[in-house]
Chains A and B, each alone.
Chain A
Amino acid sequence: MIGAQPGGVHRRRHFLTTEDLGGRAITEILDTAESFISVGEREIKKVPLLRGKTIVNLFFESSTRTRTTFEIAGKRLSADIININTSVSATQKGESLLDTVRNLEAMHTDLFVVRHPMSGAADLIARSVPSHVHVVNAGDGRHAHPTQGLLDMFTIRRYKGDFRHLVVAIVGDVLHSRVARSQIHALTALGTKEVRVVGPRSLLPVAVESLGVTAYTDMAEGLRGADVIIMLRLQFERMSGALIPSAREYFDLYGLTQERLALAGKNAIVMHPGPMNRGLEIASDVADGPQAVILPQVTNGIAVRMAILARLAGASAGEGRTP
């Protein structure tokens, strides 16, 4: 896994992680996203900011929500979007990742949105592209999913306001979750009062406390007084051994039910990055209940992704294209 984040210009040209974003930078992105919300509410849901730009959605892992909301975000900014999914791509014929990217680049792509099962893949691409090309990480292995992290911050801010007064509980399979990692960095940068991770020890990363969170293995304790509950999906596809005894037992101990939700703050919101396993990490009546903001998360994802795409395209301001 690539650890150190490249600094300076690299950071402005690409959007790879929330780790290097300070509270101010995040707030700026959320403010920009706020102004894009109105575009989705009008008759003609389009602004000409990225007219003439080509965006390639390069997905080596399946995704519906993320890919579709990136596609809508790009289209609302008037860019041309091409979707490439791994099942139909040349990588299956043995072409290397960077060769695939170079070919797409030769077609004058301006921006890549990359999802890949290997941690660090988006970073690798970002290091290889010429300076006028931008890369957005749409999820790399267990490492990061920064646009999801920010759309979650956007959703929390819209419902709950100032992070400095909030107790946020992230519940479930934290170990395999790139979303949780991106959320934790963003929540910390925004000065959240308390960030908790809740789950069985086997699904919490070793020394998770070093990220500035409090770990709870008892669900009731972890939820008590929380203002925001973020449920994570159990990622069986990333589990190499038996990390939970059984689905039934997991739900009994860590599933979010109405009774458990009642332990949290009175107006606590329930979030889930999707896709949900109903009856496994979350009860159906909670997922569809009045405290759930799971579908608004999806809607907000469009505005947040518009903000990130627009800011990157604007970041090449004043720099000529290399011939």
Chain B
Amino acid sequence: MIDVETALGHMTDSARAFIERRPVLIGIHTGGVWIAERLHERLGFKEPLGTLDISFYRDDFSRVGIHPQVKTSHLPIPLDGRHIILVDDVLHTGRTIRAAMNELFDFARPASIALAVLIVRDGRELPIQPDIVGVSISLRPRQHIKLTGPDPLGIRIMERTE
């Protein structure tokens, strides 16, 4: 079973390689924000972290419609020319990350974006790979992994029945 604290430790260790670029942490709602908050604390960053809700940028909007409880994207500092670490809980198809990058570029032109995820699983549909990883797992296509939280953080694996 996956231990969240151990995985967060791995992320923190590999994130240190990015520190001299003075990166800005940006978490993707909802799970990615929880992870970004933990990383922010462990790395002792002074600058506030940003949060991103990608609902308005999803490529499946015309199939699933709009969710009424969209959170607001909150980017408290100017991102032009900054190095960004984009944080999410699970990297699966890569579509969320694509949407997040599209949204980020509507706010600013960052110098670079690195991707940090707690869990990377198989099933990529886009050429997107993480730079910072907590743990890698392999799941069956019907299996679905979810971060629960915010306190304490936990992992749930569900079998989709469709």
Q: Inside 8 A of B62's CB, which chain A residues have their CB?
A: 313-314, 316-317
Q: Indicate if the CB atoms of A31 and B66 lie closer than 8 Å.
A: no
Find the residue from B55, B65, B72 having the highest chain A CB count within 10 A: B65
Residues of A within 8 A of B45 (CB): none
Q: Which residues of the other chain, A, contact B70 by a CB distance below 8 angstroms?
A: 31-32, 35
How far is it, in angstroms, between the C-alpha of A310 and the C-alpha of B72 when the chains are bound? 16
A314 lies within 8 A of B66 (CB): yes
Binary contact readout A301-320 vs B (1 if CB under 8 angstroms, 0 otherwise): 00000000011011111100
B61 within 8 A of A: yes
When C-beta atoms are compared, the residue in chain A nearest to B55 turns out to be A35
Contacts of A314 on B, CB cut-off 8 Å? Answer: 61-62, 64-66
Q: Closest B residue to A318 by CB, please name it.
A: B63
Which stretch, A2-10, A36-44, A188-196, touches the partner chain B? A36-44
Residue tally, chain A, CB below 8 Å to B: 23
Which of A31, A44, A311 meets B106, CB within 8 Å? A44
Interface of A is mostly: helix
Within 8 Å CB of A315, what residues of B? 65
CB contacts (< 8 Å) of B107 on chain A: these are 42-44
- Do B71 and A42 touch (CB < 8 A)? no
Contact partners of A29 in chain B: CB under 8 A = 68
Cα(A311)–Cα(B70), bound, Å = 12
Q: Which residues of A contact B65 (CB under 8 A)?
A: 311, 314-315, 317
Contacts of B103 in A (CB 8 A): 47
For A94, list chain B residues within 8 Å (CB): none
Asked if B18 is an interface residue, CB under 8 A from chain A, the answer is no
**Size class of B's contact patch?**
20 to 34
Q: Is the CB of B106 within 8 A of A42?
A: yes
Within 8 A of B (CB), among A204-259: none
- Give the nearest-CB partner of B67 in chain A: A32
Whether, in the assembled complex, B102 has its beta carbon less than 8 Å from a beta carbon of chain A, the answer is yes
Q: How far is the CA of A38 from the CA of B55 in the complex (A)?
A: 13
CB distance from B12 to the nearest CB of A (A): 31
Q: Is the CB of A32 within 8 A of B57?
A: no
**Are A35 and B63 in contact, with the CB atoms below 8 A?**
no
A321 to B62, CA, bound (A): 12
- On chain A, the residues within 8 Å of B73 by CB distance are 38
A32: which of B53, B64, B68, B106 is its contact (CB, 8 Å)?
B68
CB atoms of B72 and A35 under 8 A apart: yes
A38 to B106, CA, bound (A): 13
Q: Are B72 and A317 in contact (CB under 8 A)?
A: no
Which A-B residue pairs are the 3 nearest by beta carbons? A314-B65, A35-B70, A47-B56
What are 26 A-B pairs at a CB distance below 8 A?
A29-B68, A31-B68, A31-B70, A32-B68, A32-B70, A35-B53, A35-B55, A37-B72, A38-B73, A42-B106, A43-B106, A43-B108, A46-B106, A47-B56, A48-B56, A48-B57, A49-B61, A49-B66, A310-B66, A311-B65, A313-B61, A314-B64, A314-B65, A317-B63, A317-B65, A318-B63
Given pairs A35-B71, A311-B66, 18 additional interface contacts (CB within 8 A)? A29-B68, A31-B68, A31-B69, A31-B70, A32-B68, A35-B55, A38-B73, A39-B56, A42-B106, A43-B107, A47-B56, A47-B57, A48-B102, A49-B56, A314-B61, A314-B62, A316-B62, A317-B65
